[in-house]
Structure 1
Amino acid sequence: MDATVIEDGERPPTRIQRENREVILEAALTAFSGHGFRGTTIDEIARRAGMSKTNLLYYFRRKEDVYRAVLERTLDEWLAPLEALNSDGDPVEELRRYITLKLRMSRRTPEASRLFANEILAGAPVIRSALETRLRGLVQEKAAVIRGWVGQRRLAPVDPVHLIFLIWATTQHYADFAPQIRAILGDQVDQPGFDDQAAQAVLTIVLSGIRPRTDAG
């Protein structure tokens, strides 16, 4: 879902225009995640982006348009690892890769996770259409892949949709509840390798529950 929409007859954006849009979206992400939609102004986004308000409004007509573009870009980035889930691959390795990437993305872009969570908690007024179309379709597609692995006895019998929900909840916890994690673990969260250790812990718990079981006796 590209935030850049080209109308009929319009020229595609130049490299400079694409770069400026990215600068605006990065600045907007920081502002919106910190102050929410209502607490953020176009002037603040422009200041963070290092450009004039007039220049910003050349790319986005309203604050609502900037907000929507940030959410859509976040959704694009988050769905990419799920889209890459390969039905021809080894089930455990495919899910291992997905869980690892999702956790790393959550840890490295907590602002995006926080902004998206706030949008969902508000009832998804801006992103609802994308959730009910693109997201629903992708989850159904990948649930069918997981269901196929279960049918082939390459995974334990699990509900594939709830497995995806579990992965989302577990990995995003590290971003959405970062202060709670830091309060418990302290400086451990800043140590080299913490992300890999956390990913391995999540992988062990999740994968131990979905590996195919051998009947005893």
Structure 2
Amino acid sequence: MPDDTTRIQKNRRAQILEAGLDVFSAEGFNGATLDGIARAAGLSKPNLLYYFPSKEAVYVALLNGLLDTWLDPLRALDPAGDPVEEVLGYVRRKLHLARDYPRESRLFAGEILRGAPQLQPELSGTLRRLVDTHARQIGDWMAAGRLATSDPHHLIFSIWALTQHYADFEVQVRAVLGAERDPWAEAEREVQAHFARVLTPTG
């Protein structure tokens, strides 16, 4: 029985987190309520409170699970690989992450727009160290003439901006392109082509 109880509790927590992701990504932190999360999870509010004492607790649990996923595409940059292909691979992975996890992308963007009250230590710690490490690698490739010269940090920022745009502003993108066009297929082609031009050394 203890194993069954543990399994049921894990499943219930996962159910609540899934519902929380729906509600927070749609309503934002301020618009989300415990009642709304409980309703989306198909649970009573007291049942939800048995697992999470507040909406903040649900929100923090979601963010803590998200950061590693968000950093994985940059971690995969291989210093031994071809520089242009490595950065284009990062662009592709980041775009796929935005495509496959649009709710998580909006949750992350919402946290940043709120001033990152929960993620600030991780942003200035774990994230900064990871970006600095790979920015140095990109800078070394640039210094060796293997990538076009630019500021490595701002290159990474531009990759974030372009790839996440398609998730965070998907409604706008689809409205502008029209129902007959596939924004993700076009983004795969156009974003890759853009960064190939930006990255390839001239002369």
Q: Aligning the two structures, in what range does the TM-score lie when normalised by the shorter sequence?
A: 0.7 to 0.9
Q: Which moved more, 1:140-149 or 1:102-111?
A: 102-111
TM-score (norm 2): 0.88
Within the alignment, does 1:108 sit opposite 2:97 as a pair? no
Alignment of structure 1 residues 65-214 onto 2, 5 Å: 65-189=57-181, 191=182, 194-214=183-203
Distance 1:75 1:204, change over 3 A: same
| CA shift digits 1:49-79 (9 cap, x unpaired) | 2334344333322211111121222222111
Contact residue 60 and residue 118 of structure 2 kept, 8 A: yes
- TM-score, normalized by length of structure 1? 0.83
Equivalence for 1:30:
22
Q: Which moved more, 1:180-189 or 1:129-138?
A: 180-189
- How has the CA–CA distance of structure 1 residues 122 and 91 changed in structure 2, closer, same or farther, with 3 Å as cutoff? same
Q: Percent identity?
A: 51
CA distance in 2, matches of 1:118, 1:25: 17
- Once residues 133 and 13 of structure 2 are traced to their aligned partners in structure 1, the CA distance between those partners, rounded to angstroms, is 32
Task: Label 1:152 to 1:38 Cα distance change in 2 as closer, same or farther (>3 A).
Answer: same
Equivalent position amino acid for 1:206 in 2: F
Moved over 6 A (4+): none
Worse-superposed segment, 199-208 or 14-23? 14-23
Per the TM alignment, residue 17 of structure 1 is displaced from its structure 2 partner at its CA by 4.1
Gaps of 5+ in 1: 1-12
Structure 2: which 5+ runs fail to align?
none
The 8 Å contact of residues 150 and 157 in structure 1, kept in 2 or not, is answered as yes
Q: Assess if the C-alpha contact under 8 Å between 1:154 and 1:212 holds in 2.
A: yes
Decide which structure has greater helix share: 2
**Does the C-alpha gap of structure 1 residues 145 and 15 become closer, same or farther in structure 2, counting only changes over 3 Å?**
farther
The answer as to whether partners of 1:99 and 1:199 remain within 8 angstroms in 2 is no
Change (3 A) 1:23 1:155: same
Q: Aligned partners of 1:142 and 1:205: how far apart in 2? A: 21
Q: C-alpha root-mean-square deviation of aligned residues, in Å?
A: 2.0
Q: Distance in 2 between matches of 1:195 and 1:205?
A: 15
Change (3 A) 1:38 1:197: closer
Q: Counterpart of 2:148 in structure 1: which amino acid?
A: A
Which amino acid in 2 is paired with 1:200? R
Shift of 1:212: 2.1
